[in-house]
Amino acid sequence: MGSLRRYYSFLPDGGEGVAVSALRSPDAIRAAVRAFADVGVTELVLDPTVPSVDEVDRLADVVL
C-alpha cells in the first residue's frame, strides 16, 4: 500500500482512498473480474503496483 500512497500522494487524501480500495486477495480480484464480465465488459486492464514481473504471472493464475 505504501507505493500506492506515494504515487497518489498528490490527491487531497494523500492517496489513502486508492490504497485502501486496491484489490489484494485472489478472491477479491476474481470477484471484481467476474463483476465486470457480468455487466458485459470484454476487456479489462489490470495494473500490478509492484516492480516484479512475477506479479503478472500470479495475476494470470488468478484470473485465467
Of the pLDDT bands very low, low, confident and very high (cuts 50, 70, 90), residue 32 is very high
Q: Supply the pLDDT for residue 49.
A: 79
Q: What is the pLDDT of residues 42-55, one digit of tens each?
A: 999 988 878 888 98
Contacts of 50-53 with C-beta under 8 Å, sequence gap 24+, read 50/3
28: confidence class by pLDDT, cuts 50, 70, 90: very high
What are the boundaries of each domain within the chain?
A: 24-64
Contact 11, 17 (CB under 8 A): yes
Q: In the prediction, which pLDDT does 38 show?
A: 98
Predicted model pTM: 0.76
